[in-house]
Amino acid sequence: MAHAATTHHTSLGLDNRKVAFWAFIGSECLLFTALISTYLVYKGRSVVGPYPHEILNIPFTSVSTFDLLMSSLMMVLALAAVQRGDMKWGKIWLFSTALLGLVFLGGQVIEFTEFVHKGLTLSTNLFGCTFFVLTGTHGAHVAVGVLWLLTLWMRALQGKLGPANAMTVEITGLYWHFVDVVWIVIFTVVYLIQ
Amino acid sequence: MSDAPPKGLTSWLTTTDHKRIGLLYFWTAFGFFLIGGLEALVIRAQLAQPNGHVVSAETFNQLFTMHGTTMVFLALMPLSAAFFNYIIPLQIGARDVAFPRLNAFSYWVFLLGGLLLNASWLVGPLFHAGALNVAPDGGWFGYANLTERQFSPGPNIDFWQLGLQILGISSLAAGFNFIVTILNMRAPGMTMMRLPVFVWMTLVTQFLIITAFPVITVALVFLMFDRLFGAHFYLTSAGATPLLWQHLFWLFGHPEVYILILPAMGVVSEVLPTFARKPLFGYTVVVYSGILIGLMGWGVWSHHMFSVGLGPIADSVFASTTMLIAIPTGVKIFNWIGTLWGGSIRGTTALKFAVGFIAMFIIGGLSGVSHASPPADLQQTDTYYVVAHIHYVLFGGTVLGLFAGIYYWWPKMTGRLLSESLGRWHFWLQFIGMNLAFFPMHLIGLLGMPRRVYTYSPELGVGSLNLVSTVGAFLIGVSILVFLLNVWRSGRRGQAAPNDPWGGATLEWSISSPPPVYNFSVIPTVTSRLPRWKTEHHEPMRDPPAIPPAPIHVPGGSWWPLVAACGFPVMALSVLAHTLWLVFVGAAILIFGIYRWAYEPFEV
Amino acid sequence: MSVQEGGTAMHEEGSLEHPVHPTADVYLRVGAVLVILTVLEVGVFYVPAFHPVLVPVLLVLSAAKFTLVVMFYMHLKADSKFFTFLFGVPLLLAVGVMVALLFLFLGALTLRGAAGPG
């Protein structure tokens, strides 16, 4: 991640890592499509409750959604700061992004615990297994992202992050925004369209 | 920089050189190919006569499951990967792939996944099973709900779903690597429409891999959650349907068969022009057909499900898309024939295999087209007719195509020539063997013998046909022995290979056999599709000098891909041993490996 | 807050692109629009009058959010068209697969109507 920026000639004039990462994001589209399609295909087919309308908490999740959207804003501000060499703000925004990511994860933990208390687990019904695997996979992606962001932040603290390796931050950003975008879809399809 | 490769075990364990990784893939894949072949021979021994008792029914189930899984994931795909690794950078004029350590990682993950899967043959006692072997036994496509805990209580299916998830990671990583390599690391002047067809077919294959593998990953994760945590993804009692598995599996499974055949088609597209001394007929059409096959391959998956009751509209849609996909495939066949027509033919072993590919693939394609009709398929599905089809396209197609590649590129990869006379024996034994083995299966299937049955009654009247098929299978086995003899002889006293034993047109023939560690002493500038041939518009290129004019940096090795790869079997073990903390140990190994990898100084 | 991004840190010798980066100003405005769209989404959910058109409206609103994040935060609009292709093809494929699965499972492709999968 943090080795010297590539100055090799490339056929497309694009950074190898960025090309690889967009290909990866394309691949992840198929991953989440399979998960979301399964959720949709099994919607309304649970034989026993609890059912979505009984336990999904829209106000709570709306705040989570807002949190993740703001974290994307902070991510892009972090990139802008690093690109112009402003490492003070770069560090602040990187940390803030990670922090909001942690808040989102905290929200997921609270929500999942609530649901379990109300009787919804992986093995209760179709809603349970499709919901938890879909949002759990997304949450795992967020967790990886938080770890990634904190790693970058620590590199910045060590003075090892700067405009010369801004591509690293850009790619982190691509990952983070993609995770946000997946949530945009999940929020609509799971929570709002019941 | 010395151009002699480093020696010793450590240098192999830490290699990031695409040529070494290609060789590792080759030998490992070939080893698994032999294992898969042995499994086939035992199957054929059991089926040689009615009411056979060579193996028990349970072992038979494990044999055909492992034969399929091994051949698809551990033999054919990695053999293709051996060529992706070795040949692609050479054909595009690059020094290595885009991410050499990720490349090594892919190999180690593949090896470990394959070992995990095959360990199941021997570890029965660890699971208090009644037998030594607890290999996966649900078929290579693992239909739910047979694979659920209720009907498969042992560890067999766990080995399968874990092994496949691990192998998926290997393929995905390689997919990203080769996409970037092919798109972004071409030599100056090598535009996309000057790429060798093998490179194009590889590119399409990698896109298929990165889009299809996530889907099977999800299917497997669902199965894992059902088996481990009591989820209900495929259980009708909870309102679910086993059809979800079928859809998800075949959404992956159909692109997978194109992943299996396109590289071989690419190889054939290289071999034919070389030995016809004539450029590929209709290069542009062949490339676009390959792309079309890749795209259309996403639209046909439910033709594997014509017997489940999808309904007439769905059946008709998938029947049409399946028939349509025969068009670009057929087009390629005409282009290959057109390449040979009027050419100056040299009947080398590689060419024999390439021509054999065309003939056998036509037969396999014809049975495939017959499957495209749902009413016909209702008769054929789950019978030996399908087994005939898949083996004509995968053995007659992919295996013959890959052997064409082996004979073609062996001198380049090893610096030695293979014997052409042993090659002739190999080819004819294998060609006759495969037709004896698989042609009768068309009839056996139509006469009513189902797939995946460990025996059959004499009344069915397919005893003699099965015997013929078994003889053919053993003949294939003999042909492989001939090949192994050829390999051994070539290694001991094979003729040293020049840079260009065949008069090839593409860049890999412009450097030594095997190439120096840096591939090209000077990166060539490409001005035509056939750089090394004289054409109407171009003189042949001048080969790069033997001594590099300036020092060339070659990245060193790294332990971290191997270390990171080791995280996966440990995580898998936690499932098999029902021991939660192991998953954290495995994850820690993976994360540790990744961090060390990320912060290791490594200049490509 | 109209600091000019881009150009400065991206100057690698002739090998990387030199796109024009949106300014922080643009990012903030996109952020504000995202918040508004989310408020609208939640609003549509709660206001009973919108229920007949709930699904299409929500799909449009979330598609708008998706597009904004991808085009501006992920920079796809300003970057090489190649990235749009690299992301767009799998995305289209994904949407096609989802639509196909919905049709296959929700009975629209059978003459039996909403009888569900066989």
Residue C22 pLDDT: 63
The position carrying tokens 């885009």 is: B98
Q: Is B342 helix (H, G, I), strand (E, B) or coil?
A: coil
| Residue B222 exposure: Cα atoms within 13 Å on the Cβ side | 37
pLDDT beyond 60 at C110: no
A43 touches chain C (CB under 8 A): no
Backbone angles phi, psi at B383, to 5 degrees: -110, 180
| Residue B403 exposure: Cα atoms within 13 Å on the Cβ side | 30
The CATH class, in words, for A16-43+62-192 is mainly alpha
For C67, residues 6+ apart whose C-beta sits below 8 A from its C-beta are none
CA dist., res. B286 & res. B277, Å (int): 18
Q: Which residues of chain B have pLDDT under 70?
A: 1-5
Rounded to a whole number, what is the distance in Å from the CA of C111 to chain A's nearest CA?
A: 19
Nearest CA in chain B to A133: B222
A181 touches chain C (CB under 8 A): yes
Q: Which residues of chain A have pLDDT under 70?
A: 1-8
Nearest CA in chain C to A62: C42
Backbone angles phi, psi at B496, to 5 degrees: -65, 140
B496: β partners: B416
Residue B201 pLDDT: 98
Measuring CA to CA, how many Å separate B573 from each of B127, B163, B168, B550? 12, 11, 17, 49
Token pair for B431? 């060609």
Q: What H or E segment, with its residue span, contains residue B197?
A: helix B197-229
Q: Is B582 helix (H, G, I), strand (E, B) or coil?
A: helix
Residue B97 pLDDT: 97
Of A23, A80, A177, the CB nearest to C5: A80
Residue B326 pLDDT: 94
Rounded to a whole number, what is the distance in Å from the CA of B176 to chain A's nearest CA?
A: 6
Answer yes or no: do A125 and B229 touch at CB < 8 A.
Answer: no
pLDDT beyond 90 at C1: no
Residue B118 pLDDT: 98
The position carrying tokens 């078929």 is: B139
Residue B3 pLDDT: 53
Residues of B in contact with C98 (CB under 8 A): none
What residues of B act catalytically?
67, 96, 140, 170-171, 254, 256, 258, 269, 303-304, 329, 332, 451
Residue C14 pLDDT: 38
Residue B506 pLDDT: 98
Residue A9 pLDDT: 81
Answer yes or no: do B243 and C117 touch at CB < 8 A.
Answer: yes
CA dist., res. A121 & res. B289, Å (int): 48
Residue C21 pLDDT: 59
Backbone angles phi, psi at A9, to 5 degrees: -65, 135
A60 touches chain C (CB under 8 A): no
Residue C114 pLDDT: 39
Answer yes or no: do A84 and C90 touch at CB < 8 A.
Answer: no
Residues of C in contact with B310 (CB under 8 A): 104, 109-110, 117-118
Residue C6 pLDDT: 37
Q: Biggest alpha carbon distance in chain A?
A: 60
Answer yes or no: do C62 and A76 touch at CB < 8 A.
Answer: no
Of A6, A41, A192, the CB nearest to C105: A41
Question: B349-371 and B242-276 helices cross at what angle (nearest 10)?
Answer: 150
All structural domains of chain C with their residue ranges: 1-79, 80-118
Please write the tens of the pLDDT for every residue from C63-79.
999 999 999 999 999 99
Answer yes or no: do C93 and B311 touch at CB < 8 A.
Answer: no
Q: Letter for the amino acid at B470? A: T
Residue C113 pLDDT: 38
Measuring CA to CA, how many Å separate B420 from each of B268, B347, B352, B399, B427? 18, 10, 11, 19, 10
Give pTM, 2 decimals.
0.95
Q: How many residues does chain A have?
A: 194
Residue B6 pLDDT: 82
Task: Please tell me the CATH code under which domain B9-557 is placed.
Answer: 1.20.210.10
Q: Which of B335, B476, B329 is nearest to B399 (CA)?
A: B476
Decide: B92 and B489 in contact? Cβ < 8 Å: no
For A146, residues 6+ apart whose C-beta sits below 8 A from its C-beta are A98, A101, A102, A105
Residues of B in contact with A42 (CB under 8 A): 239-240, 244
CA dist., res. C112 & res. B312, Å (int): 10
Please write the tens of the pLDDT for every residue from B263-272.
999 999 999 9
Rounded to a whole number, what is the distance in Å from the CA of A122 to chain B's nearest CA?
A: 5
CA dist., res. B63 & res. C26, Å (int): 61
Interface probe, candidates B296, B317, B320, chain C, greatest C C-beta count within 10 A: B317
Please write the tens of the pLDDT for every residue from B536-562.
888 999 999 999 999 999 999 999 999
Decide: B222 and B233 in contact? Cβ < 8 Å: yes
Which of residues 138 through 197 in chain B touch A, CB cutoff 8 A? 172, 175-177, 179-180, 183-186, 188, 190
Measuring CA to CA, how many Å separate B513 from each of B63, B65, B409, B415, B545? 40, 39, 10, 5, 14
Radius of gyration of chain A (CA): 19
Handedness of CA B498, B499, B504, B508 (dihedral sign): positive
Residue C20 pLDDT: 53
pLDDT beyond 50 at C95: yes
Residue C7 pLDDT: 36
All structural domains of chain A with their residue ranges: 16-43+62-192
Interface A-B, measured as beta-carbon pairs within 8 A, has a size of: 115
Q: Which of B138, B377, B114 is nearest to B249 (CA)?
A: B138
B366: β partners: none
The position carrying tokens 């920089």 is: B1
Token pair for B15? 């290699």
